[in-house]
Amino acid sequence: MASIPVEGQRKALLSVTDKTRLEEVGRALHNHGYQLIASGGTAWFLRDKDIPVTGVGELTGYPEIFGGRVKTMHPAVLGGILGPSHESFAETKKLGIEAIDVVVVNLYKFEETLLRKASDAETVESIDIGGPTLLRAAAKNFSRVTVVSDPDYYDEFLEQLENNDGGTELAFRQKMAARTFRRAEQYNDAIAGWLEKLVGPTDGIALRYGENPHQAAQLVLPASEDKDNPLAALGITQHGGKELSYNNIVDLVAAVKLVGDFQEPCCGILKHTNPCGFGLGAGVVGLQRALICDPVSAFGGVFTFNRDIDLATAEILAKRFLEIIVAPGFSEDALAKLTRKKNVRVLTADIPTFLSVTHGKTRSWGQLVLKQDEDEGFSELAEWKVVAGPEPDAETRTALEMVWKICKHGKSNAIVLGDLHATLGLGFGQMSRVDSTELAVLKAGNQNLDLKDCVAGSDGFFPFPDGIEKLAEAGARAIIAPGGSIRDDEVAAAAEKLGVTLILTGRRHFNH
């Protein structure tokens, strides 16, 4: 049953694959005076519930064609959504184009079709074209149009109608618009991912494999004009060695971000994204210092520098088993030396470009995507508070700043022991901070390193004094941590009793 349009009557377009609570939404809109416009199965569903509805074909004057592939893509529909204001429709009314105020649309279930491992033909048919177009149009025009893209939002939508005399608030429309564009992004990503599996990646390069050899992987890259070097968009050039794998890329990001946090010349060694050695100094000096605390874990690791590599440094590296060497540049003879190792990936990195392209953090699991800002800057180092022990001298401050920055780059719970020039012990990724402390001390002991008067950094607060006590027992004279525990005073008192300087920064750098 079709309703008769009324002068000035608000209009709502409904076109849904998921009919969950459709009757409730349709009846609420009708009761608030909306003329309902619906397509295909949505219109049949509403009519079956005795809810007045106008079919899209009645509005446009055209029937659905190509088996329903084309039904809502018409000026009477899209124009009704995109018109900027009700007053602007005065010029289009004679064309049969009137304002549509609410768009309730959800998409064909493409992701579910993939999970069912349907045929290619069925999968193609489950790609929605009209739905995303309607949603994006309505979301763009949020100043006037309310878009609802999922039944999960119906409760809030119905509450808005009830509290606003059938209308909605701008803040709600903006929120729904944002969620709609995010849903469209996820939907398009799923479709692109399926097609890429059919034809291979179209905007990146295939990697040797993923985290494990049985997993396929690809690197999606920004556009690059250098067709011979797709990695140029990252500021990376590979000079030799095997193709990059998924794990290599993950390690590479961690490696460059580590040395990118230091203005001083330095060398970092990483294993599975965790630092296993770090030294301040250029060339051989930085490398030898980085190898002090855990040369065993450095076996098969990633060696990263923020200064060019000379021949003397290359000769040391060439004698080791490692996966990746990355630096801003190499002398000609150093590059020749290293590229003779056929399996070692030798990379130059324009560090500012690489850091710019990889700025921010994103993790994804299928359609679940997490995004966050980059953890950048160490403004807290200018404002730290000495809560126990003597004020640190200049050298101690330099050492504390170094271990604090390195803490940021290891998996929590992170404990870093060091001196003025290098790391001495590292403990990352343990289930408790005490475990990480014991691991860091153990690593130093394995290399017979003297921890007397070392400094320590922790990426999180100490919940109890035991961590401070273990560090002091090992030889630490100064400790830097973010603080924030309800027992900070108790921990500070323990440090004071032990004669250990304890600095709290008020800001943490977890790497979860």
Q: Where along the chain do the CATH 3.40.140.20 domains lie?
A: 218-372, 379-504
- Each of the 512 residues of the chain gets a pLDDT tens digit; together they read 333 334 468 999 999 999 999 999 999 999 999 999 998 899 999 999 999 999 888 887 777 777 767 777 788 888 899 998 888 888 888 888 899 999 999 999 888 888 888 899 999 998 988 899 999 999 999 999 999 999 999 999 999 999 999 999 999 999 999 999 999 988 988 888 888 777 654 556 778 888 888 888 878 777 666 767 878 889 999 998 998 899 999 999 999 999 999 999 999 999 999 999 999 999 999 999 999 999 999 999 999 999 999 999 999 999 999 999 999 999 999 999 999 998 999 999 999 999 999 998 888 887 677 888 999 999 999 999 999 999 999 999 999 999 999 999 999 999 999 999 999 999 999 999 999 999 999 999 999 999 999 999 999 999 999 999 999 999 999 999 999 999 999 999 999 999 999 999 999 999 98
pTM above 0.75, yes or no: no
CATH 3.20.20.390 for domain 379-504: no
Tokens encoding 405: 């920055």
Could you give the CA distance from residue 33 to residue 348 in angstroms, rounded to a whole number?
66
Q: Which residues are catalytic?
A: 140, 272
Q: What is the DSSP code (8-state) at residue 323?
A: E
Cα 73 to chain center, whole Å?
A: 35
Rounded Cα–Cα distance for residues 453 and 449 (Å): 12
DSSP 449: -
Nearest to 414 by CA among 423, 422, 475, 485: 423
> Which architecture characterizes domain 218-372 according to CATH?
3-Layer(aba) Sandwich (3.40)
Q: How far apart are CA 495 and CA 467, in angstroms?
A: 10
DSSP letter for 435, please. Answer: H
Q: Which amino acid is at 277?
A: G
Q: Are the C-beta atoms of 333 and 307 separated by less than 8 Å?
A: no
Distance CA 207, CA 446 (A): 37
Query: Could you give the maximum distance between any two Cα atoms of the chain, in Å?
Result: 89
Question: 171 by DSSP, 3-state: which?
Answer: helix
| Conformation bin of residue 475: beta by default, left when phi > 0, alpha when psi is -120 to 50 | left
Tokens of 163: 């509290």
User: Which of helix, strand or coil describes residue 35?
Assistant: strand
- Say if CB 13 and CB 131 are below 8 A apart: no
As a whole number of angstroms, the distance between CA 423 and CA 439 comes to: 14
Query: Coil, strand or helix: which one is 294?
Result: coil
- For the record, the structure tokens of 36 come out as 């309902």
Third-level CATH fold of 11-197: Rossmann fold (3.40.50)
State the amino acid at position 159 in one-letter form: E
